[in-house]
Amino acid sequence: MAVTLADALTDFALLAVEGQQALFDEAGAAEWRADLDQRRLWLGERVYEVAMVGTSSEISNTWMWSWANPGYGASHPAVSAILPGCAKGREAGIPEFSMESFSLEGVTDYGMRPGSAVAFLAARLSGAPAIYAAPYSNGVAYLAVLDLKLPAPVPEALPRLMSVCLQYSGNHRQTIGNFGAQRGLKPVRTNDGGIVLTYPDGAHAHCSFDDWNRVTQVRMEQPGQA
């Protein structure tokens, strides 16, 4: 069955918050510059390898993929790394991944101006854990940060990440479940509809939800606790 863009963005919301937090923790709010011919992004003194995902227009509120942009195209060195993720989106049946451009009306915003959620989804499908939103006149260019290393997931971070993620997801159960699967946390559904995540150190996060799939409690259980 085809996946809708809304469902995919719900799946990836917590992964996006984690990735963007990791980038901020490493680079901070540093000044930026980019050279897309070299596929390089400078954030202060740090240098990252990037790929051009696409752009959003603040005039028309539309998204355009980098592979469809006359200034770049699929053969541009900054675009090639994002093509596998775009292909995965098309294979999943997400209609917007087959369109050169589309309206962003009603599309989830991951907090980095219109287009950020679409950009992160394509970046993550391409193996990139974060994006950078580079503003330009009347729009934003979104770059996938290819070589950022995510820290190992720790249970203490989950409530903080979820507090940011709540506004980006209409189905917290789905979001947490996919986050656990993607990050190797072995999500298990409980009889009461909850989800238990198991972390590398043996700790467990017990997540409870209401009838509207909103998270109501995250309880941590350290190794050895009953």
Residue ranges per structural domain of the chain: 5-145, 157-221
List, for residues 141-190, the tens digit of each pLDDT value.
999 999 999 999 999 999 999 988 888 899 999 999 999 999 999 999 99
pTM of the model: 0.92
List, for residues 90-115, the tens digit of each pLDDT value.
999 999 999 999 999 999 888 888 79
| Burial profile 137-157: b = 16 or more Cβ within 10 angstroms, e = fewer | eebbbbbbbbebeeeebebee
SS3 label, residue 41: strand
Cβ neighbors of 108 (< 8 A, separation 6 or more) are 6, 9, 10, 13, 117, 168
> Token pair of 34, please?
């980019």
Residue type, 123: A
* Main-chain dihedrals φ then ψ at residue 46, nearest 5 degrees: -90, 145
SS3 label, residue 171: coil
| Burial profile 55-78: b = 16 or more Cβ within 10 angstroms, e = fewer | bbbbeeebbbbbbebeebeeebeb
